[in-house]
Amino acid sequence: MSSNGLKLRGEVNIPGDKSISHRAIMLSSISNGKNIIKNFLNGEDCLSTIDCFKKMGTKVEKCRKNEVIIHGMGLRKLKKPIQNLDVGNSGTTIRLIMGILAGQNFESTLIGDNSIAKRPMKRVTDPLRLMGANIYGNEDANFTPITVNGGNLNGIEYNMPIASAQVKSSIILASLYANSPTKIIEKNKSRNHTEIMLKSFGADIDISGKEIYVKPVQNLYSEDIYIPGDISSAAFFIAGASIIEGSEILVRNVGLNETRTGILDVLKNMSGNFEILNKKYVCGELMGDILVKHSNLNSTTIDSKLIPRLIDEIPIIAVMATQAEGTTIIKNAKELKVKESNRISSVVSNLKKMGADIEEMDDGMVIKGPTKLSGCNIESFSDHRIAMAFSIASLVASGDTNIDNTRCVEISFPGFYDILKEITC
């Protein structure tokens, strides 16, 4: 129960999905014609993607608050940027754009912020080099600044060494430009928004289990896109309502693509109390409303197959686990170490400070609950998901919690604190 008697109640509209917003800008920019994108996420990461494509000649009109019109340049007609392409904090921008740049007939350089400078790019550089792209950069093009000299590409057969939608998507995008088909074999199924959206833009792409076949194309059609609410953002309120006694919230229009709903599977395993209403497909993506009520949670185990379906939700799942009865184990989650911060150590160090019974593992964490959390000074590590997860943790903690640099929530969820305030009563 919230130590100060507060609970979460009411209806919430979640901003558009970050992953889908990036893809909508990218595919629209390389399509032929005008694309209207509705419910676009105006978060800093997606604005970085817009900025990169503007520098390559894409005309972008911002209409109403969350509506963007993109006039596509065509698959091969992006222009060589005069300045470096700055991806800011966004891993999705840099990795997916590298796939598109690999197919362009010009050289361009990608830069980003201090966090991006520490994140590995070899996972994308390697397959793109196999396709024939020339890529240079720090430590054999593992780190920014990275220069991509695009041109003639060949199709490849690629067994993914890690489960990553960013890597998969980068290869898929490069495959559009190749002179022969590409086959990608996924390690574990990761989010498939690129595949879904590319099909609606007219790409020749087939999926069979963990195998993806992409044939090169001459053109992509233009397409209007409605973006569902981001389940990774909804997760903070879903978890909050689940652990705070007396809570009941209705989260509207959330994306329910099954490659993203691992958090709901976990909540079900933990005996969470939620219901999905009004399911419908929009632009090939399943969406619906989620009604969540407080419940007494049990522990759970989260392993490799589930990890890609909830990778961004692990910080808030760890917070939930501190309030659940029993031992929660999160394993095979080494990828957390190369996110916006090392999310294994960011979560463990902060939860330890709050008094949780949590142990750091090389590939995850073990949490024993339930524990009463105490307010303290929390480090966000300038990581948006850490700031939001611990804002929810502070609601079940006694005393005051201070989180540094909560401004970073602007990366993926502008308005997070306004919504939280609205539903806290």
Active site amino acids? 312
Name the residue nearer to ligand S3P (CB basis): 312 or 383: 312
From 77-85, 104-112, 126-134, 159-167, give the range in contact with ligand S3P by CB under 6 A. Answer: 159-167
Residue nearest to ligand S3P (CB): 19
Q: How far is the CB of 164 from ligand S3P (least distance, A)?
A: 3
Q: Under 8 Å CB-to-CB from 349, ≥6 apart: which residues? A: 379
How far is residue 141 CA from its own chain's centroid? 23
Name the residue nearer to ligand S3P (CB basis): 21 or 300: 21
Sign of CA dihedral 179, 183, 186, 191: positive
CA atoms within 13 A on the CB side of 325: 6
Q: How far is the CB of 22 from ligand S3P (least distance, A)?
A: 6
DSSP state for residue 362 in the 8-state scheme: T
Among 7, 191, 260, 343, binds ligand S3P (CB under 6 A): 191
Q: Can residue 175 be called a binding residue for ligand S3P (CB under 6 A)?
A: no
Q: Under 8 Å CB-to-CB from 185, ≥6 apart: which residues? A: 157, 158, 159, 160, 210, 211, 212
Interatomic CA distance for residues 350 and 366, integer angstroms: 14
Q: Can residue 48 be called a binding residue for ligand S3P (CB under 6 A)?
A: no
Interatomic CA distance for residues 173 and 198, integer angstroms: 9
Q: Can residue 166 be called a binding residue for ligand S3P (CB under 6 A)?
A: yes
Q: Can residue 195 be called a binding residue for ligand S3P (CB under 6 A)?
A: no
Name the residue nearer to ligand S3P (CB basis): 284 or 355: 284
Q: How far is the CB of 156 from ligand S3P (least distance, A)?
A: 19
At 312 the three-state DSSP class reads helix
Q: Can residue 46 be called a binding residue for ligand S3P (CB under 6 A)?
A: no
Q: How far is the CB of 175 from ligand S3P (least distance, A)?
A: 16
Q: Can residue 343 be called a binding residue for ligand S3P (CB under 6 A)?
A: no
218: left (phi over 0), alpha (psi -120 to 50) or beta: alpha
Tell me how many residues contact ligand S3P (CB under 6 A): 10
Q: Can residue 35 be called a binding residue for ligand S3P (CB under 6 A)?
A: no
From 57-65, 158-166, 242-250, 275-283, give the range in contact with ligand S3P by CB under 6 A. Answer: 158-166
Q: How far is the CB of 299 from ligand S3P (least distance, A)?
A: 24
Interatomic CA distance for residues 34 and 311, integer angstroms: 34
Q: Can residue 164 be called a binding residue for ligand S3P (CB under 6 A)?
A: yes
Beta bridge partners of 359: 366
Count the neighbouring beta carbons within 10 Å of the beta carbon of residue 83.
10
Interatomic CA distance for residues 148 and 154, integer angstroms: 16
Name the residue nearer to ligand S3P (CB basis): 166 or 394: 166
Phi/psi for 163 (5° steps) reads -85, 105
Q: How far is the CB of 369 from ligand S3P (least distance, A)?
A: 25
Q: Can residue 93 be called a binding residue for ligand S3P (CB under 6 A)?
A: no
Q: How far is the CB of 23 from ligand S3P (least distance, A)?
A: 7
Interatomic CA distance for residues 357 and 373, integer angstroms: 10
Q: Can residue 90 be called a binding residue for ligand S3P (CB under 6 A)?
A: no
Q: Under 8 Å CB-to-CB from 251, ≥6 apart: which residues? A: 11, 12, 14, 229, 234, 237, 238, 289, 290, 291, 292
Interatomic CA distance for residues 37 and 22, integer angstroms: 11
Q: Under 8 Å CB-to-CB from 407, ≥6 apart: which residues? A: none
Count the neighbouring beta carbons within 10 Å of the beta carbon of residue 359.
13
Q: Can residue 19 be called a binding residue for ligand S3P (CB under 6 A)?
A: yes
Among 165, 174, 287, 358, binds ligand S3P (CB under 6 A): 165
Name the residue nearer to ligand S3P (CB basis): 150 or 308: 308
Sign of CA dihedral 360, 362, 364, 367: negative
DSSP state for residue 329 in the 8-state scheme: E
From 161-169, 174-182, 313-321, 396-404, give the range in contact with ligand S3P by CB under 6 A. Answer: 161-169
Q: Can residue 312 be called a binding residue for ligand S3P (CB under 6 A)?
A: yes
Among 92, 253, 257, 350, binds ligand S3P (CB under 6 A): 92
In which residue are the tokens 């998969």 written? 168
From 162-170, 271-279, 326-334, 399-407, give the range in contact with ligand S3P by CB under 6 A. Answer: 162-170
Q: How far is the CB of 19 from ligand S3P (least distance, A)?
A: 3
Residues within the interface to ligand S3P (CB under 6 A): 19, 92, 164-166, 169, 191, 311-312, 335
